[in-house]
Amino acid sequence: MNTPNRHQIGVRPTADGTHISVWAPEAEAVQCQVEDQETLITLDRKEYGYWETKTNALKAGDQYQFVLDGEAYPDPASYYQPDGVHGASQVVDLSFNWTDGEYKVPAMKDLIIYELHIGTFTNTHDFQGTIDKLPYLKKLGINAIEIMPIAQFPGERNWGYDGVFPFAVQDSYGGPKGFQQLVDAAHAQDIAIVLDVVYNHFGPEGNYAPNYGPYFTDKYGTPWGSAINFDDAYSHGVRDFVLANVRMWFADYHVDALRIDAAHALKDWSASHILQDIRKETNAWIEEQERDHYLIVECDLNDKRYLESLEKNGFAMDGQWVDEFHHALRVAAGGKPEGYYSDFHGVADLAKSLQHGYVYTGQYSEHRQKFFGTDTIGITGDHFVVFSQNHDQTGNRMLGERSSMLFSADMQRLMALTVMASPFVPMLFMGEEWSASTPFQYFVHHSDEELIEAVRKGRKEEFKSFQSDAEAPDPQSETTFADCVLKWHEVDSGVHQQMLAYYEALISFRKANSILRQVDRSLVTVQYDESKSVIVLSYAFEDQLMVGLLNFSSAAQTVSLDSAYSWERIWDTSDPAWGGTGPTADLFNGEITIPAATGVFFQQL
């Protein structure tokens, strides 16, 4: 099928005029209205529902709308919405004086990812604030930041998953140029950019796409309404739209990786699934530019097809968030097994996840009330992204409590060690590294009162299965948002300073350790003692042996090591250097007593 070049969808200034392309397959006439002028530019009908023209009557900086059969709307492929989701679109010249020509993204196995939300990461709530913190992140040991969605959403306060203009960078964050500056500055610090993108739904306010054509289908449902149309009539235009968006982030913003939100909600029975087409589009760009780019999915299906190669008819994603690792870790640490945590049973499930990635690999799930999951045979460890916290698992709590509000400092250090010592790709959530005191709650900034009330009601309904007498914070309130902004003065004081020192040392430990650097789960054997809540990790690589002892119980536990070897302690979460009460006692006759909520690593001498 000869559809237009996907990266040309939208309004793009060129050397010989501005190219305009919009998909409106059911329109009888399409014009472009230049704001503050009487100019109406007529577009020509092309194949497969596209309308196009090239003109000198529209230039960078001009605002415009498309007029479809007499009705004016902003451009669904707008690159900038300076007046918000209901305002006119603006023509943007996305050329930029890039200085990152020598930058190369690290291999997946070498990534240390740091997830952040632009609005709450600093008190300026914008890209510049994040730029200012890049030296801090580099010192911490981070080499990739994962940015929650920045596509234009309603108002100034939102997690980003209510975006309605996938090509437009949020105006209140700094718009297109601000994001380009952030990416370039990050690359100068040898930090990669992973961008969270949402292809499974549009937000409920400011969604003008249905006025242009069948972007949605009633064939399937999602938690957010009708599914995006990837396989129904006219789906070719929607697929082109998404693939053009993928290429834009790589080409115009130099993004190194995309994290695709809720990939399980991409409903598509086409011969080639949309994720496979995204993979092919990305591969083509990699080959063209000779620079690596990664695709990471959030997926709730425990289906290794998402990670298997195209040759096996897989989706060939480079990585997947493993929520089950998080759930098992939280329950092992003493979290309540309620809601979706009810399926997890402490160290036994955590041990399985440390070995296999998934916990549910085909057995019966009481919470889901069905047999669930596939094995992970043949999938290497660098395909699994693991964490003790993220935006979802913090913000999906009614009060948005971080681990710092739920677990002792000892347990927080043990949880972080479990993540960093796993044969997977580790990810932190902003502020975790200093045990930040601020919550991360759900917040929005809608303008429609009925919608605001519906969001409030939905938030209350969400927590029916979690036993609590507390009230969910008002998502619309500016106070709810303000409470979530990180307090950077904390990093220089008391327990926060100690925790930061711990994380810096822990990240350095992972990077320097030749076994952990392999991110190879075949090198690890995992054993556990459920009665003691202890996990033992045994690593063997070339002629090196290493053992990790993780005590998740509330009491000291005695563990045996192979007395045929001499052992040297190389890591101890209870070290006084970061606020521990240790160090842990020495080995005696091949046994060691590990304090409660403590992790200790030994290597063979």
Given the residues 298, 318, 410, 575, the one annotated as active site: 298
Q: Is 232 annotated as a binding residue?
A: no
Q: How far apart are CA 195 and CA 79, in angstroms?
A: 16
Q: Is 391 annotated as a binding residue?
A: yes
Q: Is 392 annotated as a binding residue?
A: yes
Q: Is 119 annotated as a binding residue?
A: no
Q: Is 123 annotated as a binding residue?
A: no
SS3 of residue 492 by DSSP: helix
Q: Is 256 a catalytic residue?
A: no
Q: How far apart are CA 1 and CA 65, in angstroms?
A: 29
Cα of 345 vs its chain's centroid, Å: 26
H-helix or E-strand containing 498? helix 494-512
Residues 6+ apart with CB under 8 A from 491: 434, 497, 500
Q: What are the C-alpha distances in Å from 394 to residues 123, 302, 389, 391?
A: 20, 21, 6, 5
Q: Is 326 annotated as a binding residue?
A: yes
Cis check: omega of the bond before 583, within 30 degrees of 0: yes
Point out which residues pair with 172 in neighbouring strands: none
* Backbone φ, ψ for residue 49 (5° rounding): 95, 5
Which of 316, 333, 336 has the alpha carbon at shortest distance from 325? 333
| Beta strand segments in 249-376, E | 257-260, 294-298, 319-321, 364-365, 370-371
Q: Is 324 annotated as a binding residue?
A: yes
| Beta strand segments in 533-579, E | 534-541, 544-551, 557-560, 567-572
Q: Is 244 annotated as a binding residue?
A: no
Q: Is 262 annotated as a binding residue?
A: yes
Given the residues 62, 146, 162, 261, the one annotated as active site: 261
472 and 460 in contact (C-beta within 8 Å)?
A: yes
Q: What secondary structure does DSSP assign to 230-254, as a single string?
A: SSSTTHHHHHHHHHHHHHHHHHTT-
Q: How far apart are CA 229 and CA 233, in angstroms?
A: 8
Q: Is 367 annotated as a binding residue?
A: no
Q: Is 263 annotated as a binding residue?
A: yes
Q: Is 298 a catalytic residue?
A: yes
Catalytic residues: 261, 298
Q: List binding-site positions for substrate.
A: 259-264, 323-327, 391-396
Q: List binding-site positions.
A: 259-264, 323-327, 391-396
